[in-house]
Amino acid sequence: MPETPTIPDRLVIAIGGNAIHPEGIRGTSQEQVELAAATGKSLLPLLELDTELIITHGNGPVVGKMLLRQAIARQRVAPMSLDICVAHSQGGIAYLLMQALENALRAAGNPRHVVCLLTQVEVDGEDPAFTTPTKPIGHFYTESEARSLTEELGWPMQEDSGRGWRHVVASPQPRHVVDISLIDAVAKRGAVVIAGGGGGIPVIRDPDGQRHGVDAVVDKDRTSALLANVLGVKDLMILTAVPRVAINFGKPDQIFLDKVTISEIRRLHQQGHFPPGSMGPKIDAAIEFINGGGRRVMIGDLRDAVSVLNGEAGTHIVAD
């Protein structure tokens, strides 16, 4: 395992959508409240550190359900564009997390505040991702269900790492986190900041400075890497639903990775070990973050957050 690192002064934590909305739940309000409370319990030791904290989160399962609801009710209720769906999911998830984290802090007698900043992220309107959707969102479906959804709703569907078929949407590269200076200022004041939820609300900016939403979902790990790089944060923690990164995932010769250099992880990525629908974007984000000046990327299970930070669990990716 990696040597126990020094606790960082500043940290960006990216929580995966499947970690806070796992498979096998209906997604009721009560389930979401309970999952948020569990997240607060897992993160409490980190929240109590004297560390500037910025938390991002995924939204794939939630925004996928929003699209499905709209599809079912489309004859009676006008559907929302995907950027507005991202905004709704960003606000709803952040509300639950903000409340749960503060409740955990208050139960421990800690007065630290948690705030949510609704976040837009600029993308390039000419990004090739708009012509090749790759970002999986929403439920897992059987192949026959996926075929029916494509025929009925025109949804592009893609097999996701042997777990089923999912709706895929455009996922352009994040170029700029809007109002990032405000995120920085609030974090420096001592509050835990929840920002960039769902990768941020995707917008493009016209030459005259006007912004407009676009139908896309930005990958939250890549937005987290960009945000951390711009702010000069050296440590990025990606919390998901698996204990470590693995090669030959799901096969008899599966091997978990503990500590790995950026050149090693890049080589393994090129060999195809990290599928685009699951671990691939996290590895892409890790590479981008360290290439952009980051020191360490930690990937591990949300429930093991403290052990991951202490170097006792998870996969730690470092510069050569």
Q: Which residues 6+ apart lie within 8 Å of 267 measured at CB?
A: none
pLDDT at 2: 45
pLDDT at 3: 54
Kindly name the residue from 135, 196, 198, 200 that is annotated as catalytic.
135
Is the residue at 2 inside a domain?
no
Kindly name the residue from 220, 277, 280, 314 that is annotated as catalytic.
220
Q: Which residues 6+ apart lie within 8 Å of 210 measured at CB?
A: none
Is the residue at 4 inside a domain?
no
Condensed to tens digits (0 to 9), the pLDDT of residues 80-100 reads: 999 999 999 999 999 999 999
Count Cβ neighbours within 10 Å for each residue of 43-54 and write b for 16 or more, e otherwise: bbebbeeebbbb
Is the residue at 296 inside a domain?
yes
User: Could you confirm whether 251 is annotated as catalytic?
Assistant: no
Judge whether 64 and 72 are in contact, CB under 8 Å: no
Judge whether 258 and 1 are in contact, CB under 8 Å: yes
Closest Cα to residue 304, out of 237, 236, 226, 230? 237
User: Could you confirm whether 91 is annotated as catalytic?
Assistant: no
Is the residue at 57 inside a domain?
yes
Kindly name the residue from 18, 164, 213, 310 that is annotated as catalytic.
18
User: Could you confirm whether 64 is annotated as catalytic?
Assistant: no
Relative orientation angle of helices 180-188 and 220-231, to the nearest 10 degrees: 70
**101 has a pLDDT exceeding 60:** yes
The one-letter amino acid at 244: R
Kindly name the residue from 64, 282, 294, 300 that is annotated as catalytic.
282
Is the residue at 194 inside a domain?
yes
Average pLDDT, the chain: 92
Condensed to tens digits (0 to 9), the pLDDT of residues 245-262 reads: 999 988 899 999 999 999
Cα 88 to chain centroid distance, Å, stands at 16
User: Could you confirm whether 248 is annotated as catalytic?
Assistant: no
Q: How many CA atoms lie within 13 A of 225 on its CB side?
A: 27
Give residue 35's domain range. Answer: 10-318
Alpha helices in the chain (DSSP H): 17-20, 29-47, 60-72, 82-107, 143-153, 180-188, 220-231, 262-270, 280-291, 305-309
Is the residue at 130 inside a domain?
yes
Is the residue at 111 inside a domain?
yes
User: Could you confirm whether 234 is annotated as catalytic?
Assistant: no
Q: Collapsing DSSP states into helix, strand and coil, what is residue 130?
A: helix
Total domains in the fold of the chain: 1
Condensed to tens digits (0 to 9), the pLDDT of residues 3-28 reads: 556 789 999 999 987 767 777 778 78
What CATH number should be reported for the domain holding residue 83?
A: 3.40.1160.10
Is the residue at 81 inside a domain?
yes
Alpha helices in 177-251 (DSSP H): 180-188, 220-231
**139 has a pLDDT exceeding 80:** no
